[in-house]
Structure 1
Amino acid sequence: MPYTKISHTKVLVTGGAGFIGSNLCDDLLQNKNQVICLDNFSTGKKENIEKFLRDKNFKLITGDIRNLDDCRKAVEGVEIVLQQAALGSVPRSLNDPITTNEVNVGGFLNMLVAARDAKVKRFVYAASSSTYGDSTVLPKTEDVIGKPLSPYAVTKYVNELYAHVFGLNYGMQLIGLRYFNVYGRNQDPDGAYAAAIPKFTKSLIEYKSPLINGNGTNSRDFTYIDNVIQMNHLAALTQNTEAIGQVFNTAVGERADLNQLVSLLKQYLSNYDSKIADVEITHGPERAGDIPHSLASIEKAERLLRYIPSHNLEQGLKEAVDWYWKNLK
């Protein structure tokens, strides 16, 4: 279903060279916006934004959200902020909780202060499904959360609390998007903290056995990047006052376990190379800090933002696999 997109607007995307951020920059440029990208390239990649550097409507600021001056420079004249900059990954946060906190909490607070002082009209930020913590309730609804299971989850919940306080005390228009296991083009398959889908896909393309943590019955609401782009546009533009100051699940509202996921990846990749169907799967120990099952209710987003996911898992994986086949070979 078509939806209204941000256009002819000056937009800041923090973390704009990252996986989600670069997709947002691409979409915003296609819709005739002026796009500012703030990134320190700790996890973002120059190649993700290389093609934008020649676009007169794109401006790169190499800077760090931990530096308030960089944040102030980035928000000058900006109407909308799409705050994506963060250190992701539960394992990374367990290995280095201090840096995760400095970026995700200190950096987020800097961005709020800079946006407040620059009188930014709308501030949309990446929250996380990790906020649901040890809650076993399924599907996940925005107002029922548990206790966090990792330092990363703590930081993302603190973001929501700070956003609430800034909206309450400074009249800022803030909306949080709790992302559920996002995947798609530009997602890095390499590195210690790579996400499951690109990691599994690369292994299969190379005829290597994907390693599944645990017995493969852990389930997730895998969310294709185009659904995330849609939610950012809807949150940035909504005039529904009931939606302001809220957080929204950003997902499909369906789940698959890891065994099902790998089975689908093998099926779709076999269309490109039939030998991939014979690659065996290996299982390892459970990963610390992981939530066993995750499934979002998207009722609130449907009701208040008019969100309709464009891609379910099968549709999203087919597009993602096609991109990876062309870009990882």
Structure 2
Amino acid sequence: MIDNENTTILITGGAGFIGSNLCEYFIGKNYKVVCLDNFATGHRHNLSAFIDHKNFTLIEGDIRNLEDCKKAVDGASYVLHQSALGSVPRSINDPITSNDVNVSGFLNMLVAARDAKVKRFVYAASSSTYGDSKGLPKVEDVIGKPLSPYAITKYVNELYANIFSSSYGLETIGLRYFNVFGRKQDPNGAYAAVIPKFVMQLMNNESPVINGDGNFSRDFTYIDNVIQMNERAMTTQNPEAVNTVYNTAYGDRNTLNDLVGYLKEYLSDYDAKIANIEVVYGPNRAGDIPHSLASIDKAKELLGYDPQFSIKEGLKEAVGWYWENLKN
């Protein structure tokens, strides 16, 4: 068993969407939490609820700087590595920066974690690793060729983690996130994720723009399911459960048309006009896979993963948060 009060967790990218939710959760569990972030995509307001908490430490730094990584990991028992430059389109527009952050930065963190003798390194992997594989649902040991620079970087993370496990004995677990959504996810910017972007457009009585005909499908995964997976991965005592990767998802899929329909339904409880907003359809997006659905059998078997939030339950929670916090 872990002694929470005397255990330090380093959460890289802790000011981001997933990272800040992890920070808040583990502070609530009486862990000491260190956040490393350079605020390139994270936000200080994501830390406001716990910035002054006695168990929270913020280190402003960049994973591309090895010394920053070493400083952040000093004294940590566990690393939850969330830092990355996400977004397929961003990586297509600027592959060099995506590689610098997602590969070189990742390697820096592995080296720092190895040298600090952390107990376990849990990292954000990606469903983009499945690339052009056609089979559904996606199972962890069957992948295709990557379809974007971003996907390449996330696959390289898995390869490096595997080498650090076999060569240096560093325990690693990769979590292949599938379209995570929920509170604190940024709706602004050119590379905003689809759910917060659609929510903001609908709240502003604007038509959401769907890339393609809306029949592409995704395994949309609520943030609380992802928090559970990180906790299970960090705390598992099952020796067969480490040094591998897991799908982190709900295990169901919905089309983008389904998604907009749910959002309009739930948001119309706050503003009845939203129910009648029309959808606009645009061209398909480069690098997008048509369909994504995860098998979560491996996580259930080895980690005891038990996701509590379906897309509908998660969207109801998320819509309420966005309406309360971001409605003008």
Alignment map for 1:289-300 (pairs within 5 Å)? 289-300=287-298
Superposed displacement of residue 6, structure 1? 8.1
Which residue, 166, 181, 187 being the options, matches 1:168? 166
Report SS of the residue matched to 1:143: coil
- Structure 2: distance between partners of 1:76 and 1:323: 35
The residue aligned with 2:61 is 63
Q: Pairwise mapping of residues 82-93 of structure 1 onto structure 2 (< 5 A)? A: 82-93=80-91
Is this contact kept in 2: 1:141–1:296, CA < 8 A?
yes
Gaps of 5+ in 2: none
Task: Say which is worse superposed, 48-57 or 175-184, in terms of deviation.
Answer: 48-57
In structure 1, the residue matched to 2:190 is 192
Please name the residue that 1:144 is paired with. 142
Matches within 5 A, 1:34-183: 34-183=32-181
Task: Give the match for residue 20 of structure 2.
Answer: 22
Residues 6 and 31, structure 1, Cα contact 8 Å, conserved in 2: no
Distance, in Å, in 2 between the alignment partners of 1:180 and 1:111 is 23
1:7 and 1:326 mapped to 2: Cα distance? 32
Q: Distance in 2 between matches of 1:128 and 1:298?
A: 14
Question: What is the match of residue 226 of structure 2?
Answer: 228
TM-score (norm 2): 0.98
The equivalences for 1:186-265 within 5 A come to 186-265=184-263
Q: 1:130 to 1:324 in 2, by over 3 A?
A: same
Which shows bigger deviation, 47-56 or 150-159?
47-56
- Equivalent residues of 1:11, 1:79 under 8 A apart: yes
* Partner of residue 7, structure 1: 4
Alignment partner of 2:123: what SS?
A: strand
TM-score (norm 1): 0.98
Question: What is the one-letter code of the residue matched to 2:73?
Answer: V
Q: Is 1:322 the equivalent of 2:323?
A: no
Alpha carbons 1:39, 1:63 under 8 Å: kept: yes
Q: Paired residue for 2:279? A: 281
Q: Is the 8 A contact 1:5 1:234 kept in 2?
A: no
Deviation at 1:142, TM superposition (A): 0.1
Q: How many residues align?
A: 326
In the alignment, the residues of structure 1 paired with residue 175 and residue 4 of structure 2 have an alpha-carbon distance, to the nearest angstrom, of 20
Residue identity over aligned pairs, in percent, reads 67
- Label 1:245 to 1:132 Cα distance change in 2 as closer, same or farther (>3 A): same
1:149-172 Cα deviation digits (max 9, x unpaired) = 000000000000000000000011
Distance 1:6 1:101 in 2: 37
> Shift of residue 50 of structure 1?
2.0
What letter is aligned with 1:120?
V
Q: Structure 1: how far apart are the matches of 2:134 and 2:79? A: 33
Say whether the 8 Å CA contact 1:140–1:297 is kept in structure 2: yes
User: Structure 2: which amino acid aligns with 1:58?
Assistant: F
Task: Give unmatched runs, 5+ long, in structure 1.
Answer: none
CA shift digits 1:192-212 (9 cap, x unpaired) = 000000000000000000000
Counterpart CA distance in 2 for 1:54 and 1:226 is 23
Q: Distance in 1 between matches of 2:144 and 2:241?
A: 23
| AA at the equivalent of 1:70 | D
Q: Work out the CA distance in 2 between the residues paired with 1:187 and 1:154.
A: 24
SS for the counterpart of 1:52 is coil
1:7, distance to aligned residue in structure 2 (A): 2.8
Q: CA RMSD in A?
A: 1.0
Contact 1:66 1:102 in 2 (8 A): yes
- Separation in structure 2 between the aligned mates of residue 20 and residue 241 of structure 1, nearest angstrom: 26
Match of 2:29 in 1: 31
Residue 327 of structure 1: how far off its partner (Å): 1.0
2-structure distance, mates of 1:47, 1:254: 32
**Which consecutive segments of 4 or more residues in structure 1 shift more than 6 A?**
none
User: Which residue identity lines up with residue 23 of structure 1 in the other structure?
Assistant: N
Q: Distance in 1 between matches of 2:171 and 2:113?
A: 10
**Alpha-carbon separation, structure 2, partners of 1:243 and 1:108:** 22
**Aligned-residue offset at 1:53:** 1.7
Report if the CA contact (8 A) 1:90-1:152 is conserved.
Answer: yes
Write the deviation string for residues 189-247 of structure 1: whole angstroms up to 9, x where unpaired.
01000000000000000000000000000000000000000000000011111111110
Equivalent-residue separation in structure 1 for 2:11 and 2:160 (angstroms): 19
